[in-house]
Amino acid sequence: MLRFHNTLSGRLEPFTPLHPPRVNMYSCGPTVHDYAHIGNFRTFVFMDILQRTLRARGYDLQYIMNITDIDDKTIAKSAAAGVSLADYTEKYTAAFFEDFDTLRIQRPDVICKATEHIPEMTRLVQILLDRGLAYVSDGSVYFKIAAFPEYGKLSKKDFDGLRSGARVDVDEYDKENARDFVLWKGKKEGEPHWETTFGDGRPGWHLECSAMSMAYGGQTLDIHCGGADLVFPHHENEIAQSEGATGETFVRFWLHSEYLIVNGEKMSKSTGNFYTLRDLTDKGHNPVAIRYLLMSTHYRKQLNFTEEGVRQAQAALDRIHEFVDNLGRRKLPAGDHRDMTDLCDAAARRFDEALDDDLNTAAAQAALFDFIRDVNRRLDAGEVGETDRARVMAFIGKMDAVFDILPAADDAAAEADADIAALVKQREEARRTKNWAEADRIRDELAARGVILKDTPEGTVWKKN
């Protein structure tokens, strides 16, 4: 049974959706003011493992993710660049999803942009005003935290001393600045704005997520996730806005992933200690190795990023690929071995149990490596039969449905073709130097792989049988 650490209760809890098998899950998406860094992608890879695990367990998942395409940062940066907000954010939204695909993160079922959901947001503000949980001041609308006694229940902070009616206007702030936060910002020169009955202006960041998550996932979501930095104030404010408006539990399971750090400090744009995915692929690192590295530590533990870590992840990937490759090519005797059936069953069980345990990807990776070692030993001892091969591959397929680290079918075919072409070249070279034995050996090897050679005056051509 799946168990998740719920930030709200501070405990590990068995996961049960409100209306099984349906699961509504919302994650805070990127603020598209710049290229995302791989710290951001640690969080999105975690969410990918979460969504794939839920689907593998048979849940009917609706995964919703927003794009914050209007907030303090996007407005300020587009203005500084002299570009319209829409054009500016479009560029970084496209870049974000390119990186998403490169990292093999499955796209959410619903991707919603803040600027396309203004009516949902203004409706929510109106309800909060009607219920006495919000007030207008200097043309902006604020949430009155003193009117919501449960404020602080997610971040477990005590805000008693702060409930003075003082206000905070910026989207991002710390605990020391916790005040009545802005829901709707009054119109300012040079900022986009929308007309409403409570004043023209634009949404604050926190409002966006409450309005969009409930628009698609309903009043009560099964899961809401994000990075640990979003617990306060963002998610605390989302709870206040949503529960304040509906009177219902907003989210049943809150999941937060820990930071990717560099030399003990959170990777972030503001400190400048970051790598984008492009920085790393330009240096020749394989994005799948980066994916593997990002899932190599349990999501609630900090992960220290180094390029050496990427190289180690690549070495681990190479071992896995070699294992699968070797197993596919090997000539095996007919039949199966009882011991191999047990081994495959045990590996599948261990893999599932690791993910059941609050998505312990590190333990799941360990299960995979122990399995590879055990099967290799049996291969060497001649104790793996043709029927066992299918069982081993079934486990590998099950693992890859969640990890997604094996070469894609197209990649695998291209790799195999490149391999064949290289052997054909070697054989031509052997023939040129009259090394007939070597040329014949290569021809036989290719024949065993179903490749037919034809020597022509223009060189050797090959085709698959």
Strands 3-6 vs 11-14: parallel, antiparallel or unpaired: antiparallel
* Nearer to ligand AMP (CB atom), residue 30 or residue 108: 30
Element housing 225 (H / E) = strand 221-227
- Please give the Cα distance from 265 to 186 (Å, whole number): 36
H/E stretch holding 452 reads strand 451-456
Q: How far is the CB of 287 from Zn ion (least distance, A)?
A: 26
Please identify, using beta-carbon distances, which residue of 206 and 266 lies nearer to ligand AMP.
Answer: 266
Give burial (CB, 10 Å; 0-12/13-18/19+) of 242.
buried
**How far out from the chain centre does Cα 148 lie?**
33
Cα separation, 399 vs 288, in Å, equals 15
Q: Candidates 23-31, 98-106, 108-116, 343-351: pick the segment binding ligand AMP (CB under 6 A).
A: 23-31
The binder of ligand AMP chosen from 229, 336, 353, 374 (CB under 6 A): 229
Q: Which of 7, 40, 62, 365 binds ligand AMP (CB under 6 A)?
A: 40
Count of residues near ligand AMP by CB under 6 A: 16
Report whether 35 contacts 278 (CB < 8 A): yes
Position 260 contacts ligand AMP (CB under 6 A): yes
For Zn ion, the binding residues (CB under 5 A) are 28, 209
229 binds, among ligand AMP, Zn ion, none (CB under 5 to 8 A by kind): ligand AMP
Residues 6 or more apart whose CB falls under 8 angstroms from that of 279 comprise none
User: What 8-state DSSP symbol labels residue 334?
Assistant: S
User: CB of 266 within 8 A of CB of 229?
Assistant: yes
Question: Of 268 and 281, which has the nearer Cβ to Zn ion?
Answer: 268
> Among residues 43, 62, 210, 276, which is the contact residue for ligand AMP, using CB under 6 A?
43
Give yes or no for a contact between 304 and 261, defined as CB atoms under 8 angstroms apart. Answer: yes
Check binding of 17 to ligand AMP (CB under 6 A).
no
DSSP state, residue 149: T
- C-beta of 266: minimal distance to ligand AMP in Å? 5
Q: Which of 211, 267, 280, 424 binds ligand AMP (CB under 6 A)?
A: 267
Q: Report in angstroms how near the CB of residue 167 gets to ligand AMP at its nearest.
A: 23
177 vs 304, beta carbon nearer ligand AMP? 304
By the rule CB under 6 A, 103 interacts with ligand AMP? no
Quick one: which segment of 79-87, 221-229, 344-352, 427-435 binds ligand AMP (CB under 6 A)? 221-229
Position among 28, 405, 439, 451 found at the interface with ligand AMP (CB under 6 A): 28
CB of 229 to ligand AMP, least distance (A): 5
Instruction: Decide the pairing of beta strands 134-137 and 265-266.
Output: unpaired
CB of 99 to ligand AMP, least distance (A): 12
Residue with tokens 């007309």: 195
- Extract the tokens encoding 115: 């600027």
Using rule CB under 6 A, residue 392 touches ligand AMP: no
184 vs 192: CA distance, rounded Å = 12
Instruction: For residues 464 and 322, give the distance between their C-alpha atoms in angstroms, rounded to a whole number.
Output: 22
Q: From the CB of 371, what's the least distance to ligand AMP, in Å?
A: 29
Figure out which of the listed residues 39, 152, 204, 287 binds ligand AMP, where binding follows CB under 6 A. Answer: 39
Report the first-to-last Cα separation within the chain, whole angstroms. Answer: 47
Around 8, how many Cα atoms within 13 Å sit in the side-chain half-sphere?
18
Amino acid at 160: D
Cα–Cα distance list, 143 to 66, 183, 220, 246, 445 (Å): 22, 6, 20, 15, 73
- Choose from ligand AMP, Zn ion, none: what does 209 bind? Cβ within 5-8 Å by kind: Zn ion
Judged by beta carbon, residue 217 or residue 226, the one nearer ligand AMP is: 226
Whole-angstrom distance, CA of residue 465 vs CA of residue 463 = 6
DSSP SS3 for 4: strand
Position among 30, 108, 186, 204 found at the interface with ligand AMP (CB under 6 A): 30
Q: Which does 260 bind (CB under 5 to 8 A by kind): ligand AMP, Zn ion, none?
A: ligand AMP
Q: Which stretch binds ligand AMP (CB under 6 A): 194-202, 224-232, 351-359, 440-448?
A: 224-232
Does the protein bind ligand AMP through residue 259 (CB under 6 A)?
Answer: yes
From ligand AMP, Zn ion, none, which one binds at residue 39 (CB under 5 to 8 Å depending on kind)?
Answer: ligand AMP
- Chain position whose Cβ is nearest to ligand AMP: 227
116-143: string of b/e by CB count within 10 Å (b at 16+)? Answer: ebbebbbebbbebbeeebbbeeeebbbb
Nearer to Zn ion, 252 or 443 (CB): 252
Please say which residue, 42 or 252, places its beta carbon nearer to ligand AMP.
Answer: 42
Positions in the binding site for ligand AMP (CB under 6 A): 28, 30-31, 39-40, 42-43, 226-227, 229-230, 259-260, 266-268
